[in-house]
């Protein structure tokens, strides 16, 4: 058994409000929070889902015909990767020697994506992944990601994986990261959404993943002020759907909270992760090791990036082939595209 070395990592899960007004306002808030987390000794900081510039709360409460203007505004402020926003965060991560996990609205030409970025402590962008299936109202805003981002990356604090919101309800997506032996799982939710039941469900979800994966979970949710909620919708009934749903927390591989969760207001949850607890948990139950049954159950992953065009390179033009040679092996078929999706088995 590969036991985790005896070391401790200090983590910060950050719950703050975005800036709806200034285009660079939320980025400024991110950089300030990184500084504050560093002052508290944090080696990894996790921010909420699509925090820069802000989560599309409007899509949850406005009918489609009224979403045009806020959708375009979000697109104008969205993040190009790489670009000025990623450069600024990379520089701050490097300056503070901190791993930073940031959720952004990524703009790729005419489409937006729910994207998670993992910056290593030297400022390197270690991972860019897109949420594989936007949830319900989110499909009006974001395109779908692909399996290329279902990766765990080696960082200064250990092996880090990330999923956004209800991706945690896709057990195969979680298993893809478990099979890569993640040590610190970074979860991101929008916060200030649905109501208290959302926070209750979230706690069950992140504690279950910690237990099943045998890893730490650092979960960050966003926060909206009353003024911001009113700016999204003046309807008092709809405003209720933009409150609650906050549960910023850090959970051990034994499913225990390492500090009191944050469910109201701005702040950060800071806790020390004793990495030896991973081996302690997996000695009893390793879902992708001695507790797995790969000969019965395994996961196939298409981990190639999605492509809208695939060039073909035939060895011989179709027009030059005669009917009598249709089944003649001396006239080879067009070459198989070597970039076609390949299934990779992940189990054990």
Catalytic annotation, pick one of 131, 151, 215, 246: 131
Catalytic annotation, pick one of 49, 138, 167, 183: 49
The continuous run of DSSP H or E covering 271 comes out as strand 267-274
Two structure tokens written together for 233: 């919708």
256 a catalytic residue = no
Do 138 and 175 touch, CB atoms closer than 8 A? no
Measured between alpha carbons, how far is 294 from 113 in angstroms, rounded to an integer? 33
**26 alpha carbon, distance to own chain's centre:** 18
Q: What is the DSSP string of 97-161?
A: T-EEEEEEEEEETTEEEEEEEEE-TTS-EEEEEE-SS--GGGGGT-----GGG---EEETTEEEE
Beta bridge partners of 267: 15
Catalytic annotation, pick one of 106, 128, 165, 183: 165
Which of 132, 131, 127 has its CA nearest to residue 55?
Answer: 131
Task: State whether residue 307 is helix, strand or coil.
Answer: coil
Which of 335, 297, 306 has its CA nearest to residue 318?
Answer: 335
186 a catalytic residue = no
Report angle CA 266, 270, 276 to the nearest 5 degrees: 155
Cα four-point dihedral sign 137, 139, 140, 142: positive
Two structure tokens written together for 201: 């469900």
Burial profile 139-169: b = 16 or more Cβ within 10 angstroms, e = fewer = eebbbebbbebbbbbebbbbbbbbbbbbbbe
Residues recognised as catalytic:
49, 131, 165
């Amino acid at each position: 058994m590969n036991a985790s070395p005896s070391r401790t990592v200090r983590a910060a899960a950050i719950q703050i409000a975005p800036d709806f007004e200034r285009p660079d306002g939320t980025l400024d808030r991110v950089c300030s929070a990184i500084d504050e987390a560093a002052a508290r000794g944090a080696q990894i900081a996790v921010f909420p889902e699509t925090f820069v510039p802000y989560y599309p709360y409007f899509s949850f409460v406005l009918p489609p015909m009224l979403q045009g203007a806020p959708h375009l505004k979000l697109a104008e402020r969205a993040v190009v990767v790489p670009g000025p926003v990623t450069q600024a965060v990379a520089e701050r991560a490097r300056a503070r020697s901190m791993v930073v996990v940031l959720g952004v609205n990524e703009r790729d030409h005419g489409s937006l994506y729910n994207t998670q970025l993992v910056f290593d402590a030297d400022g390197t962008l270690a991972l860019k992944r897109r949420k594989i299936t936007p949830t319900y109202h989110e499909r009006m805003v974001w395109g779908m990601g692909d399996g290329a981002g279902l990766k765990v990356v080696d960082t200064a604090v250990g092996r880090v994986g990330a999923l956004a919101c209800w991706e945690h309800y896709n057990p195969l997506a979680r298993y893809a990261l478990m099979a890569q032996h993640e040590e610190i799982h970074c979860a991101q939710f929008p916060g200030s959404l649905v109501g208290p039941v959302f926070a209750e469900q979230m706690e069950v979800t992140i504690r279950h993943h910690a237990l099943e994966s045998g890893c730490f979970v650092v979960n960050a949710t966003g926060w909206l002020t009353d003024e911001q909620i009113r700016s999204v919708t003046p309807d008092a009934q709809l405003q209720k759907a933009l409150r609650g749903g906050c549960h910023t927390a850090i959970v051990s591989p034994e499913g225990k909270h390492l500090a009191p969760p944050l469910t109201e207001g701005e702040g950060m949850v800071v806790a020390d992760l004793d990495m030896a607890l991973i081996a302690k948990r997996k000695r009893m139950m390793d879902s992708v090791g001695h507790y797995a049954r790969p000969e019965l159950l395994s996961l196939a992953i298409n981990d190639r990036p999605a492509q809208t065009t695939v060039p073909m390179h035939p060895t011989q033009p179709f027009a030059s082939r005669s009917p009598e040679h249709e089944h003649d092996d001396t006239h080879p078929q067009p070459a198989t595209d070597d970039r076609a999706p390949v299934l990779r088995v992940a189990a054990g």
